[in-house]
């Protein structure tokens, strides 16, 4: 089942269950997807990657909001954002452990014959689409950098 279809099904279920927060979160996400679809044009439908990127963006927004509200002492808003974050995270793929990711990265580096920092872009270009939504991009960059740096 596509992620867009899953969003629609989950929204219908939440409506039946009277879960107003979940309905609201999914509607906002679907509106974001609709805007993205309009921006791409009718001849280019959204891919699963596009939908996943929208979910990741919404998750990042919630995390940033939680951090700012915590600094501002607005615990009521922190609580609401955390509930929204939990709902959004159910639409992300199963996260990779650091060890699983390192194994994937090492295999890819060996496969393409990357040998140093100069090949980091080549590795990242292939690796990022494979792990998007499964692990934080900053972690990906740091691990790849570490793996491509020769040990003394």
83: domain CATH number? 1.10.1510.10
For the chain, how many structural domains are there in total?
2
Q: Does residue 77 sit in the same domain as residue 24?
A: yes
Residue 148 corresponds to which tokens in the numbers above?
Answer: 């491509």
Q: Does residue 121 sit in the same domain as residue 61?
A: no
Q: Does residue 122 sit in the same domain as residue 84?
A: no
**Last residue within a domain, chosen from 70, 89, 108:** 89
DSSP H or E run through 11? helix 3-17
Whether the pLDDT of residue 151 is over 70: the answer is: no
Q: Does residue 40 sit in the same domain as residue 83?
A: yes
Query: b/e string for 41-64 if b means 16 or more Cβ within 10 A?
Result: eeeeebeeebbbbbbbebbebbee
Q: Does residue 79 sit in the same domain as residue 111?
A: no
Q: Does residue 21 sit in the same domain as residue 69?
A: yes
Of all residues in the chain, the percent with pLDDT exceeding 70 is 98
Nearest to 30 by CA among 54, 1, 12: 54
Higher pLDDT, residue 27 or 104: 27
For the full predicted model, state whether its pTM sits above 0.75. Answer: no
Quick one: pLDDT band at residue 1, thresholds 50, 70, 90?
confident
Q: Does residue 7 sit in the same domain as residue 77?
A: yes
Lowest mean pLDDT, pick from 1-15, 68-82, 85-99, 103-117:
103-117
**Last residue within a domain, chosen from 62, 89, 116:** 89
**Last residue within a domain, chosen from 42, 70, 89:** 89
pLDDT digits (tens, 9 = 90+) for 33-73: 999 888 888 778 888 888 888 988 899 999 999 999 999 99
Write out 31-100 in H/E/C secondary structure. HHHHHHHHHHCCCCCCCHHHHHHHHHHHHHHHHHHHHHHHHCCCHHHHHHHHHHHHHHHCCCCCCCCHHH
Where in the sequence is the domain holding 57, given as residue range(s)? 3-89
142: domain CATH number? 1.10.10.410
User: What burial class does residue 146 get, using C-beta atoms within 10 Å of its C-beta: 0-12 exposed, 13-18 middle, 19+ buried?
Assistant: exposed
- 118 within 8 A of 145, measured Cβ to Cβ: no
Question: How far is Cα 58 from Cα 29, in angstroms, rounded to an integer?
Answer: 7
Q: Does residue 82 sit in the same domain as residue 129?
A: no
Rg over CA atoms, the chain = 19
Q: Does residue 47 sit in the same domain as residue 118?
A: no
Q: Does residue 75 sit in the same domain as residue 12?
A: yes
């Amino acid at each position: 089942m596509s992620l867009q279809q899953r969003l629609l099904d989950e929204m219908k279920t939440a409506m039946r269950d009277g879960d107003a927060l979940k309905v609201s979160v999914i509607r906002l996400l679907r509106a974001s997807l609709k805007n993205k679809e309009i921006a791409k044009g009718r001849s280019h439908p959204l891919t699963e990657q596009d939908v996943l990127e929208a979910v990741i963006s919404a998750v990042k927004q919630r995390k940033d909001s939680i951090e700012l509200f915590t600094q501002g002492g607005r615990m009521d808003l922190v609580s609401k954002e955390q509930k929204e974050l939990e709902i959004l995270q159910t639409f992300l793929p199963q996260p990779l452990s650091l060890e699983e990711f390192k194994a994937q990265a090492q295999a890819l580096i060996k496969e393409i014959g990357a040998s140093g920092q100069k090949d980091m872009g080549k590795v990242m270009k292939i690796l990022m689409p494979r792990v998007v939504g499964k692990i934080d991009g900053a972690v990906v960059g740091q691990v790849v950098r570490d793996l491509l740096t020769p040990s003394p």
